[in-house]
Amino acid sequence: MDIIDNDAAESAAEGYSRIALGVEYKGARYRGWQRQASGVASVQQALEQALSKVANAPISVVCAGRTDAGVHACGQIVHFDTNAVRDERAWTMGTNFNLPRDISVAWAQQMPADFHARFKATARRYRYVIYNDPIRPAHLAEEVTWNHRPLDVERMAQAAQYLLGTHDFSAFRASQCQAKSPVKHMYHLRVTRHGQMIVLDIRATAFLHHMVRNIAGVLMSIGSGERPIEWAREVLQSRDRREAGVTAHPYGLYLVQVEYPEQFTLPQRYIGPHFLTGFDALAD
């Protein structure tokens, strides 16, 4: 896979404004967030092309977290530097006019020159949505992960407790992960059922490549009764990816929130995905 890695400088150059955007997208038809040298469709490429039309100049963006092929976002944060003078409405509405229907800019805001979407982030939050029913869903087919086996949410929630706190998450790390350290701090991992939907709500300082999907795979094996509750602890302590079983599908995974220090005040929206916003238990 040919990837272009072109992070912007940590501070905006003199004479340039730093603009932050809140971005939502359905990742099903994209190779992932990151722009590909081969020209394969990516979210970053589509967004940069749309922004460049609004700015009437080339725009390069930096995101808070690079999502994989098929993974979605409803709380992605990006920034870019520009000397084009546009108001926030123009950055939002003008960019949306030039974007495909499965990518949307929710808001735009000028930021201090030292704001950085990736390096200033202090925590990230994902939700993994499982449709638990014997029959494959015709609707939301690329937006949830279907599991036909009855899943015991209580067993999954108990197993999740072993993963809280600061740990070496090497057992949940993809072989191609480029993170400098496998040690992350997990603030919460909640497992709740809402009708046929099961939601894993995970917040941590940062995530390794495939970390959430590997955690989801472990918890679904435990929820089905295939593995004991204590297996989550055994996998974690092994620090061996081969112990964690199959990586869960990307379809149900959403980047829903990115957090920053208090001096960087960003617009706040509900925590998605959209089809879950009516569930009061998921409001916080």
Is 162 known to sit in a ligand binding site?
Answer: no
Q: Is 68 noted as a catalytic residue in this protein?
A: yes
Query: Which tokens hold the place of 258?
Result: 């990115």
Task: Enumerate residues 6+ apart whose C-beta is below 8 A from 239.
Answer: 168, 170, 171, 182
Catalytic residue among 2, 7, 68, 87: 68
Q: Nearest CA to 99 among 85, 115, 84, 78? A: 78
Q: Is the dihedral of CA 179, 40, 7, 203 positive or negative?
A: negative
Pairing of strands 123-132, 145-147: parallel
Hey, what's the torsion of the CAs at 224, 229, 235, 237, to 10 degrees?
170
Bind-site residues for substrate: 126
Bind-site residues: 126
Which amino acids are annotated catalytic?
68
